[in-house]
Amino acid sequence: MRYTAKRFLAGILLLFLVSVLTFLLAELAPGDFLSEMRLNPQISAETVEALRTSYGLDQPLPLRYLRWLRSIAKGEFGFSFAHNRPVGALLWVRARNTLLLTTTATALAWLIAIPLGVWIASRQGGWTDRLSLGGISVLQATPELLLGLGCLLLAARSGLFPTGGMVSLGFAELGFAAKLRDLAVHLALPAAALVLGSLPILLRHVRSALVEVLDAPFVRVARGHGIPRRRLLFRYALPAAVNPLISLLGFSIATLVSGSLLIEIIMSWPGLGPLLLEAILARDLHVVIGCILLSGFFLVAGNLLADVLLYLADPRIQTSGTPR
Amino acid sequence: MARKSQSPRVRLWPPAVVLAVVYALAIGADFVAPYDYFAQNRSLPFAPPARLHFVDPAGNWHLIPFIHPLVERPGSYGEYVEDRSRIYPLRFFLEVPSGQRGFQRWNRRLFGVDEPARLCLLGTDGYGRDQLSRLLYGARISLFAGLLAGGLAVALGLALGAVAGYYGGWIDELLMRGAELCMTLPWLYLLLAVRAFLPLHITPVEAFLLLIAIIGLIGWARPARLIRGVVLSAKERDFVRAARGFGGGDLYLLRRHVLPQTFAVALTQIALLVPQYTLAEVTLSFLGLGVAEPVPSWGNMLATLQQYHVMVSYWWMFFPAVALIGVILSYHHLATVVQKRLGVVTL
C-alpha cells in the first residue's frame, strides 16, 4: 500500500513537471494566439493590446503559471482563446467521446486477442501458427494512418457506414434505441481501425506468454491426466500466463486517451485528437497543455493500475524491494 | 502441442536487398524519376497509370514497349482514353530538354517518352504531376528523415547512455529521470506537442531538419536506457577492470572496451527505430505539420486522400501507402534477423 502511495506521488510529480516544462516551452515558442491577429488590418493594435491584457498575456511567466494552477483547482485548466471559454469544459466533452471510442476498441481487441492468441499458441509450430504470424507481422507493419484511410475507403465504397463524425444530423430527435444504433454505426469503423492497430501487439504477447507456459511440466502432467484440450488451455495454462498480460492491460489503459489520436483525426471523430491538432494550428496553447496533461494522467493511472492488479493477481510479487 | 519449434529460418539478404534498392532509387531520383516533382501538366489531372503495350493496333509486335498518349474523352471531365493512332515508344537514357531541367544536375533520365507525350507509370495527381517521380523524390524526404532521425536518436542514446552507465551517481540519476519523462508521455502526443511550440510556417528544408531534430531529441530515451544497461554490466567485465588497473583513462576505456560491447544493441535499435521515425515524418507531414507542398513527402502525398473524391475515384493515389508498408515490413524483418544473429533481447 505504501508502495502504491509512493508511485501515486511520483505520478503527480511527473505531471507537475510536465506542466512546468510545457509552460516553459510555450514561452520559448515564437508567437502566440494573438500574433496572427496582429497581421489583420481590420483589427487595431490597441484592440490586440487590450485583448492581451484581458487574457493576462502581458504578465510575467511565473504569475501566469500560478493563475493557470489556480484555474486547475476550479476545474478550468486555463482558457482557450480560440473557443473563448475555459479549457476544462471543452476537454471533458472531447475526452468523453475519445473514451467512448477507445474503451470500445480496447475491450473488443482484448476479447478477440485472448481466445485467438491462445488458439495460435496451441498450434505452435504448425502451418496455422506460421500463417498467423505472417499475418500479424503484415498487420504490424501497416501504420495506423493507412488503417484509418483503408477504413475510410471501405466506408466510402460500401456506403454502409458513415465516413466520419460521431452522430448523424437530427440525432437529438431520435428515440433511445435509434440513438444507440446511430452511435454504433458511427463507432464501427474507427473502432475497427483501432482494433486492427492494437491486435498484432496483443496477439504476439498472448501467444508468447502462453507458449512459455505450455512448455511447463505442470501442463504436461495435466495433459497426461487426460484433461480436455480446451479446459487445459483456458483453465490451466491461461491463468499461469496472466502476468505479462496484466502489464499489457495497464499499457492499454494508459493509452486510452492518447492511442486514438490519429484515427480520430482521419475519421473526424470529435475526440481529443482533432481538438489537439486544431489547437496546435491555432497556437491555442492552454488547450495543447490540457490535452497533454490529460493523456499524461491516464498514462500514470494506467501504469499504476497495472501494478496494483499485478500485485493482487500474484501474491509472489513483493512490493518492498524495487519494482521489477 | 508444446514442443519448442524450430524457428523459421531467417535470412539477412531479402530485406537488406529490398531496402538497398529503395534507398538507391531515392538517392538516384534525379536520374530515375522521369520528371521533376514540381513539373505540372494541367491538361492531365488525375490521369490513371499509363499502360505499356507491346502490340500496336495494326497487330505488329514491338520489342520495346510503347504507350498511347491519353486524351480527355470528348464531352467528359477528367475521363481519359488512349489515342490509339499515336505511338510513343519507351526510350532509355533520354536527354532532358534544357528548358525543363529545373534543379536537375543530370541531363539524362533513365527512361521516358518523347514530347509531347508523358509517361506516368503510376498516374498523376491533381496538378498532373507524375506520381512515380513524386514518389521517388518523396522517398528522399521520408526515408532519409527516418534514417537521420534514427541515427541521431541512437547516437544521442549511445553517448548519454554510456555516460550515465559508466559514471553513475547523480549524472545517471538525472539522465534516467529525463529518459523516463520522455518515455512516459505518449509518443505522438509528445511529437505534436514539441511541434506545437515551434514556428508553423517554415520552408521545406527547415521543416526537414526540424523534424529530424525533434524526433531525434524525443527518441534518445529508449536507446539510452538499453545502452546504459549494457554499459553497467560491460564496465564490470574482467578485461575492462584489468585495463583500468593498467591505468587506462575513462575516455580510452569507454572508446576501446565499453562501447564496442554496446554495438549489437545500438544496431538493433537503429533497425527498430528507423521505420518508426520514417512513419513519424509521414504522419506529421500528413497532418500538415511537416514538409509542405510542392516538395513531396509520402505523408503529404497521402494527405490528398483526405479529400473524398480523390479517395473514392483515384486508386493510384494509394501508391505511397504501398511503398510505406513495404519499407516498414522490410525493416521489421531486418530487425528480427539482426536480433537473432546478434543474440540481443529487446522489448
What is the residue-wise DSSP string for A96-113? HHHHHHHHHHHHHHHHHH
B319 touches chain A (CB under 8 A): no
CA distances from A55 to A64, B90, B193, B197, B203 (A): 10, 65, 22, 19, 32
Residues of A in contact with B289 (CB under 8 A): 280
Q: Is A25 on the interface with B (CB under 8 A)?
A: yes
Q: Coil, helix or strand for B173? A: helix
Q: Show Cβ contacts of residue B258 under 8 Å, excluding neighbours closer than 6 positions.
A: B162, B166, B231, B234, B235, B240
Nearest to A65, CA basis, from A289, A291, A277, A292: A289
Q: Measured between CB atoms, does A149 come within 8 Å of chain B?
A: yes
Give the residue from B148, B150, B143, B151 showing the smallest Cα distance to B18. B143
Contacts of B197 in chain A (CB under 8 A): 25-26, 28-29, 285
Q: Which of B1, B276, B289, B308 to mutate to test the interface with A (most CBs of A within 10 A)?
A: B1
Amino acid at B318: F
Q: How far is Cα A162 from Cα A155, in angstroms, rounded to an integer?
A: 6
Residue ranges in chain B assigned as alpha helix (H): 13-27, 29-32, 131-167, 169-184, 187-196, 204-219, 221-234, 238-245, 250-253, 259-286, 298-303, 308-313, 319-342
Residues of A in contact with B142 (CB under 8 A): none
Residue with cell 544473429: B341
pLDDT confidence tier of residue B9, bands split at 50, 70 and 90 = low
Best to test chain B binding among A13, A146, A294 (most B CBs inside 10 Å): A146
Contacts of B231 (CB under 8 A, 6+ apart): B161, B162, B164, B165, B166, B258, B261, B262
Residues 262-281 of B with CB under 8 A from A: 275, 279
User: Which residues between 243 and 282 in chain A have a beta carbon less than 8 angstroms from any beta carbon of chain B?
Assistant: 255, 258-259, 261-262, 265-266, 276-277, 279-281
ipTM of the complex: 0.79
Residue A223 forms contact with B (CB below 8 Å) = yes
pLDDT tens sequence across B41-88: 888 888 888 888 888 888 888 888 888 888 888 877 778 888 888 888
pLDDT score recorded for residue A108: 93
Domain boundaries, chain A: 88-320
How many other C-beta atoms are found inside a 10 Å radius of the C-beta of residue A292? Answer: 24
Do B185 and A18 make contact, defined as CB atoms within 8 angstroms? yes
Closest residue in chain A to residue B1, using alpha carbons only: A122
Q: What is the pLDDT of residue A105?
A: 92
Could you please state the CATH topology (level 3) that the domain comprising A88-320 is classified under: MetI-like fold (1.10.3720)
CB within 8 Å of B249: residues ≥ 6 apart: none
Cis geometry, peptide bond prior to residue B116 (ω within 30 degrees of 0): yes
Structural domains of chain B sorted by starting position, each given as residue range(s) with its CATH number in brackets: 50-120 (no CATH), 132-342 (1.10.3720.10)
The pLDDT tens digits for A228-250 are 888 888 888 888 888 888 888 88
Query: Model's pTM, two decimal places?
Result: 0.83
Q: What is the DSSP letter of A268?
A: T
User: Is the pLDDT assigned to residue A261 strictly greater than 80?
Assistant: yes
- Answer whether residue A112 shows pLDDT above 90: yes
Asked if B260 contacts B195 with a C-beta cutoff of 8 angstroms, the reply is: no
Task: Please indicate whether, in this complex, the C-beta atoms of A29 and B6 are within 8 angstroms of each other.
Answer: no
SS3 B68: coil
What confidence category does residue A323 fall into, taking pLDDT thresholds of 50, 70 and 90?
very low
Chain A residue whose CA is closest to B194: A25
Tell if the CB–CB gap between A215 and B305 is shorter than 8 Å: no
pLDDT at position A317, please? 67
Q: Please state the rounded mean pLDDT for residues B296-319.
A: 86
Q: Mean pLDDT across chain B, nearest whole number?
A: 82
pLDDT-based confidence at residue A166 (cuts at 50, 70, 90): confident
Mark yes or no for CB contact B8/A142 under 8 Å.
Answer: no
